[in-house]
Chain A
Amino acid sequence: MNLRRVTAVATKEWKETVRDRLFLLMSFLLPPLWMVVFGYGLVLDVEHVPFAVLDRDQSSLSRDYLYRFMESRYFDYRGSVYDERDIDRLLGDTAIRMAIVVPERFAEQLMAGSSVTVQTLLDGTFPLHADTLKGYVIAINRAFTQELLTDFLARTRGLVPEEARRFVEPVSLETRYLYNQEVRSTWSMVPALIMFALMVASPLLTALGVVREKETGSIYNIYSATVSKTEFLIGKLVPYFVISMVNVAVLWAIAVWFFGVPFKGSFTAFFLASLLFILCSTGIGLLISLLVRTQMAALIITIIIAMVPTILFSGLLVPVSSLSLGAQVQAHLFPAMYYTDVVRGSFLKGLGLETMWTDLFALAGFAVGLRLVAYGLFTKRPKA
């Protein structure tokens, strides 16, 4: 291997990439842009759900009941209606996602000791959303009921409120969320988006960079020159590798300083994993570029190959462990999953090399494997 030739290829590639405005944008603007856009857009928290009420009782107790919903950060009160048909209209327009109907004689019946039924109408269009919403409603409703009961017990048995509460709720539940105390989806999403941005941008860049030469015919300069396959492949990939490493730093900074996600783990593990992952992602790009002839084909195939498994099987949206068995097997066939593990582990769980070495090992395996296949596929004397 001759370092001068590697440098010649790498320098040329670097200059071309930096001077071509489209490539430059793709290299340095696209990954942070994705991060910010998806970081905001892919928030799965259910908050500020618009709702309306139909209060047929109009008592102080019914108002007290409804007030608990209005106060909650999960709900946004949009007003009261006086006719059931209005609820249908508002739900249909998606002006509200939930409606609460308090029946007539709500306070009267409660005071009389009988039970009442409050009707909640939920927009079930997004089942996951509706489920979460139902959970909120149940929780608020239960809190209200318990308070009523506590008050009743305190009043009738002459207990202090503390004691009364113990009666009402003999087993109390204490929940602590680990790693992400406030259960913010941003915290779990943004680190994984580092993986997503790298997984799409660097194969794309690499594939287009190589296919561009095939398309114009400048690849014949390489074919006909004395530069070896290894020299060319290394020289060609170095700039894209450097660009991707710069992006890792930029994306890390955005995650920590812009989205405020804490980084608790080991820098070494994160850095090593990023390095290996970029070797994988550029390797995927290289592989694609060797199989297609036009930049258009490279673009489409890279997006399909990089996007679909990354979104579905990497743990970006759904944890791999809750996928079906078949999907889990597929997830293990792509490097994205291992890197997602490392990224989340380093950001949120504060893990280090000692726990994550298997992931790193897997990434290294992919990096080597992809290189070997690419080396085998690349020929300086093609058939056509």
Chain B
Amino acid sequence: MQQYDRPSIRSVLSPQPSDTIVNVSGFVKRYKKDVAVDGVDLEIRKGEIYGLIGPDGSGKSSLMKAIVGVLTYEGGSIDVFGTRVDSERAAEQIKPKIGFLPQGLGLNLYPELSVEENIDFFAHLRLVPDEDLAERKARLLAMTRLERFRDRPMKNLSGGMKQKLGLICALIHEPDLAVLDEPTTGVDPVSRRDFWSILAELLEEKGMTALISTAYMDEAERFHRLSFFSGGKVLASGVPAEIRALVPGSIVTCEAHPQLTAIARLKTRFRQVESLGSLLRVFIDTTDESEAQSQIEALLGDLIPSSFRVEEAGLEDVFVALRLQKSESKEVSDVIADSATVHDRDGLAIEAEGLIRDFGSFRAVDHVSFRVKQGEVFGLLGANGAGKTTLIKMLNGILSPTGGAGLVAGVDMRMATGSIKERIGYMSQAFSLYLDLTVEENIRLFAGIYGLDKRSMSQRFEWIVTMAGLSGYESSLTDSLPMGVRQRLALGCALVHSPRVLFLDEPTSGVDPIGRRHFWEILTRLAREGNVAILITTHYMSEAEHCDNLALMYAGRIVAEGSPEAMKRQVEEVGGRLVEVVVDQPRRALMHLLQAGFHGTALFGTTLHVFCRDPLRDKARACEGLEGRGVRVISVKERPLSLEDVFVYRVMALERAEPSTKQEAAA
């Protein structure tokens, strides 16, 4: 039996009450009639990294802007550095001590100015003395490895580089409090990790305090303390361990067949049941492993579970559990089997054979081959610019390939774009819905575009409303729908003509975790029951776990392929096991471990993730080394790899192998 108690981080940080830097009490922000934030309390102490986590539109940005004094508010109070921020005059007083990075990757920078000119502008605006500026600039550029791009216009930087430049600009005057609004959104996992380690180093070096927001639940572990935002309210606040303690429980993963029956049985008791490829994932409100197993077995009855595993619940699970506790959310309606879309089970839905696409001298897609079977969910992962969208466009018949061939739903995509379109559905990131039309009008419009007759139109309408859980919303304007509902409507519209193959291009950006889970539930059922082949791209690595098979794209090529489990196994074989080490001086420990040759060691809040080839020997070596340097090791334990670990490991390995590639791609 394993216990998941962590040492309290309070004891590590030992904050004093007088250390309070920001105190928010009963904060209310309204935009005309819409209430964006409704009564939020928050306290940020000196030296900590405080996180605001929540989906788009949950009120994080409003609160951050009000704290830095660039937004008025309607209720409550905000004190920053002991100053009550309630007027423009008061706000001016705190601004010298604050660095603010607004939301939007690189949007606050000046595209026509070079990297150096951008930094200089921010420094001059803050009256940083020239000698300090030169010294800080040199150090920060070296730290972020932007040194060689000093003279490059900001508009020609890659996403990750823009993000790092934004950070330098926000911190060039060495503020006491850094407020960063979603600094990692829209950046690939490798750049995100890089960003976090740079940020942690900077904050620690200068003793800065930071308030950071993120939409990625898996980044929650990076914070000392955090608040979960949802619908303008705080669901929970505290150190990660405290928040976990609010909903004690664990995650059970196992395999059971048939999967849909197993899900139905588990759902009678548990509210968080998901399918990850062939695996089932259940949140159970007990931390006792044997008890969890017996509960699951009792529910499954004659379906015997295999590959049983119990893990600590992630913060995302806790968030969802909290949300479910607070709101008596209506139960997800069952997807009815779609008789119209039952196709032969073993047929190949997508077959790509050496696909190439050149744009001038740039090869966006380079000899890509893969196969997707009917009823399979296939995930395409990769950083921005890796060639995912180009590939999807070629398979859709929107873009003609430079070389290679592709069969989609049995049709050669080069020959018959017309007949392809009848057999495929496409849902883009931007949701191509008409916001001024109601839900029903949108569905009927798409049905009309695909030429459905009256009878099949009303059948389809019924099916879509039930499938996507849209009942009650039929006559609502699309514009007024929550993101999650809008996304399901877009999915319904893409399915209006019963396609056999469905393409989804980053469909879940900006949707809250519950909405995302609901969406994935629908996708899984579509694949399992409707036998639809689904090809999806996403930048949420936690979502990729839902796919049956994955392909990782890098610089136009597929560099790794397989089921999520297989991909993790591959990395574990080459790179070793992941060990989580909790220490009292994380920065010092990180430096030591990197020096000692533990590459890929990363800092998460106060814990370190270390790759160990030989778990037993390496673990001992690492711990001895740390203790020898006066670092107290509080706990050490193995941790299953996440797909993000896999992604980062793979891409880093490739970058080490060909160091010039990334820079060229960025150029």
Contacts and interface: CB of A to CB of B under 8 A. Distances in A.
Interface in B49-96: 65, 68-72, 87-88, 91-92, 95-96
Interface string A248-287: 0000000000000000000000000000000000000000
A382 B72 CA distance: 6
Given A8-B124, A225-B125, A216 B107 contact: yes
Contacts of A227: 125
Nearest to A224: B100
B112 interface: yes
Contacts of B110: 12, 15-16, 218
Interface residues of B, number: 35
A275 to B, nearest CB: 27
A218 B108 contact: yes
Contacts of A7: 124
Nearest to B122: A221
A383 interface: yes
A27 to B, nearest CB: 14
B102, B109, B110, B121 — which one has the most chain A CB atoms within 10 A of its CB?
A: B110
A15 B92 CA distance: 28
A19 B112 contact: yes
B71 A217 contact: no
Interface in A353-384: 379-384
A216 B108 contact: yes
Contacts of A382: 70-72
B108 A221 contact: yes
Interface string B119-138: 01110111100000000000
Contacts of A5: 124-125, 127
Contacts of A9: 125
Nearest to A225: B125
Contact of A224 (B87, B98, B109, B121): B98
Given A4-B127, A218-B109, A12 B121 contact: yes
Contacts of A2: 127
Nearest to A19: B112
Interface string B391-424: 0000000000000000000000000000000000
A71 interface: no
A220 interface: yes
B104 interface: yes
Interface string A126-161: 000000000000000000000000000000000000
Nearest to A220: B102
A2, A7, A384 — which one has the most chain B CB atoms within 10 A of its CB?
A: A384
A172 to B, nearest CB: 68
A225 B126 CA distance: 7
A146 B65 CA distance: 86
A225 B108 contact: no
Contacts of B107: 216-218
Interface in A1-41: 2, 4-5, 7-9, 11-12, 15-16, 19-20
Given A4-B127, A20-B112, A224 B95 contact: yes
Contacts of A379: 88
B70 A220 contact: yes
A223 interface: yes
A226 interface: yes
A226 B127 contact: yes
A225 B112 contact: no
**For this complex, into which size category does the number of interface residues on chain A fall?**
20 to 34
A9, A218, A221, A382 — which one has the most chain B CB atoms within 10 A of its CB?
A: A221
B124 A380 contact: no
Nearest to A222: B125
A293 to B, nearest CB: 13
Interface string B609-648: 0000000000000000000000000000000000000000
A11 B121 CA distance: 9
A119 to B, nearest CB: 61
Contacts of B169: 221
B126 A15 contact: no
A293 B626 CA distance: 55
B95 A225 contact: yes
A383 B72 contact: yes
A2, A216, A222, A379 — which one has the most chain B CB atoms within 10 A of its CB?
A: A216
Contact of A15 (B87, B104, B117, B127): B117
Contacts of B121: 8, 11-12
A19 B99 CA distance: 28
Contact of A217 (B72, B91, B108, B125): B108
B144 interface: no
Contact of A381 (B70, B103, B122, B153): B70
Contact of B88 (A4, A217, A226, A380): A380
Nearest to B93: A226
B348 interface: no
B623 to A, nearest CB: 44
B125 A221 contact: yes
B31 interface: yes
B667 to A, nearest CB: 18
A221 B122 CA distance: 8
Given A220-B102, A381-B70, A16 B112 contact: yes
A220 B101 CA distance: 8
B527 interface: no
Given A15-B117, A381-B71, A381-B88, A4 B124 contact: yes
Nearest to B69: A381
A197 B91 CA distance: 41
Given A12-B121, A381-B91, A382-B72, A217 B126 contact: no
B417 to A, nearest CB: 34
Contact of B104 (A16, A216, A223, A224): A216
B113 interface: yes
Given A4-B124, A217-B102, A224-B68, A380 B91 contact: yes
A161 B22 CA distance: 104
A176 to B, nearest CB: 56
A381 B127 CA distance: 21
Contacts of B104: 216-217
Contacts of B103: 217
A225 B117 CA distance: 17
B113 A12 contact: yes
A330 B346 CA distance: 78
Contacts of A216: 104, 107-108
Interface string A201-231: 0000000000000001110111111111000
Contacts of A16: 110, 112-113
Contacts of B109: 218
A380 B92 contact: yes
Nearest to B100: A224
Given A220-B102, A381-B71, A226 B124 contact: no
Contacts of B122: 221, 225
A220 B71 CA distance: 10
A267 B457 CA distance: 76
Contacts of A223: 69-70
B280 to A, nearest CB: 43
A15 B65 CA distance: 28
A227 B91 CA distance: 12
* Closest 5 pairs (CB-CB, A-B): A8-B124, A223-B70, A224-B100, A19-B112, A220-B102
16 contacts: A2-B127, A4-B127, A5-B124, A7-B124, A8-B124, A11-B121, A15-B113, A16-B110, A216-B108, A217-B107, A220-B65, A221-B100, A221-B108, A226-B126, A379-B88, A381-B91
Given A16-B110, A218-B109, 15 more contacts: A4-B127, A8-B120, A216-B104, A217-B103, A217-B107, A218-B108, A224-B100, A226-B125, A227-B125, A228-B92, A380-B70, A380-B88, A381-B71, A381-B88, A382-B71
Interface of B: 31, 65, 68-72, 87-88, 91-92, 95-96, 98-100, 102-104, 107-110, 112-113, 117, 120-122, 124-127, 153, 169
Interface of A: 2, 4-5, 7-9, 11-12, 15-16, 19-20, 216-218, 220-228, 379-384
